[in-house]
């Protein structure tokens, strides 16, 4: 299990969970969502990491929501970590983001499109924080060994890999579940991103679509083939969410889903 400070239930046989809203939209919303998720994960004894992007840099349109301000959002993540005593994770997009974000969160996440950016990986590694690298939609699972090597060779063994599907045509993604055991062979925890893997990018509107009805399917299959953790973006007011509303899980569905996944996990142990 991950040795992240504040991570509870480290002796459990459950998978761990990274979950939260796509982006930090405001303090009240983030705290409310965090509290609801933590109530569920504590009840089910699932190790939990709160997720929220302090900045959204990869947007289709210039008028898309990008954030409420870097420092303001990072301070909200810091407050959640301290108030609820849980680790937190956020994306970074540039090398200069690494040290800044590391002062507030426990895990730095490398977006899929940036997983080959050597300077970014090295900067994240040098903070000493856990580094979660999302597999590029354009890469094989085996290719992620090079991302792992870059971080470890920079003096940091705290690496997580996350699958989020592979590009299929111009407007869809598919998941090749052979990649989960292949990436686990690198001796790092492997996570399945159950929401971004259901995105439908490059829509004519400039707003990414999604298939959230299949989140349960993606998650069950990932646990069945041995995923160590799951990544799920969730919101309690999806219709008003400012980012990735089309593929997030309604928070009211989370507890029932996790109960089903625990049963899947128990069946393969």
Q: Could you read off the pLDDT of 149-190 as tens digits, one per residue?
A: 999 999 999 999 999 999 998 889 999 999 999 999 999 999
Tens-place pLDDT, residues 225-238: 999 999 999 999 99
> Residue 81: helix, strand or coil by DSSP?
helix
Tens-place pLDDT, residues 147-158: 999 999 999 999
Amino acid 1: pLDDT: 67
Residue ranges per structural domain of the chain: 16-268
Superfamily of domain 16-268: Aldolase class I (3.20.20.70)
Integer Rg of the chain from CA: 17
- Cα gap 171→268, rounded to integer Å: 34
- Whether the pLDDT of residue 207 is over 70: the answer is no
Structure token digits, residue 37 = 């998720």
How many distinct helices (H) and strands (E) make up the chain?
A: 8, 13
Amino acid 199: pLDDT: 76
Confidence of residue 211 (pLDDT cuts 50, 70, 90): confident
Strands 166-167 and 173-174: antiparallel
pTM to 2 decimals? 0.94
């Amino acid at each position: 299990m991950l040795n992240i400070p504040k991570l509870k239930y480290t002796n459990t046989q459950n998978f761990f969970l990274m979950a939260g809203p796509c982006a930090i939209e405001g303090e009240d919303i983030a705290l409310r969502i965090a509290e609801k998720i933590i109530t569920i994960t504590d009840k089910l004894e699932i190790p939990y990491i709160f997720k929220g992007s302090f900045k959204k840099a990869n947007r289709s349109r210039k008028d898309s929501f990008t954030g409420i301000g870097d420092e303001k959002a990072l301070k909200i993540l810091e407050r959640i970590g301290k108030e609820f005593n849980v680790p937190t994770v956020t994306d970074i997009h540039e090398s200069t983001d690494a040290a800044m974000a590391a002062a507030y969160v426990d895990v730095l996440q490398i977006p899929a499109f940036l997983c080959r950016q050597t300077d970014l990986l090295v900067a994240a590694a040098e903070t000493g924080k856990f580094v979660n690298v999302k597999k590029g939609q354009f890469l094989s699972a085996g290719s992620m060994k090079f991302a792992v090597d870059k971080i470890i060779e920079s003096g940091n063994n705290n690496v997580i890999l996350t699958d989020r599907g592979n590009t299929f045509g111009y407007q869809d993604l598919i998941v090749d579940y052979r990649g989960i055991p292949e990436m686990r062979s690198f001796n790092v925890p492997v996570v399945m991103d159950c929401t971004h893997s259901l995105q439908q990018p490059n829509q004519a509107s400039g707003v990414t679509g999604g298939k959230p009805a299949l989140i349960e399917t993606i998650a069950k299959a990932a646990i069945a083939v041995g995923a160590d953790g799951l990544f799920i973006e969730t919101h309690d007011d999806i219709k008003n969410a400012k980012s990735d509303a089309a593929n997030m899980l309604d928070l009211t569905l989370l507890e029932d889903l996790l109960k089903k996944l625990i049963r899947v996990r128990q069946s393969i142990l």
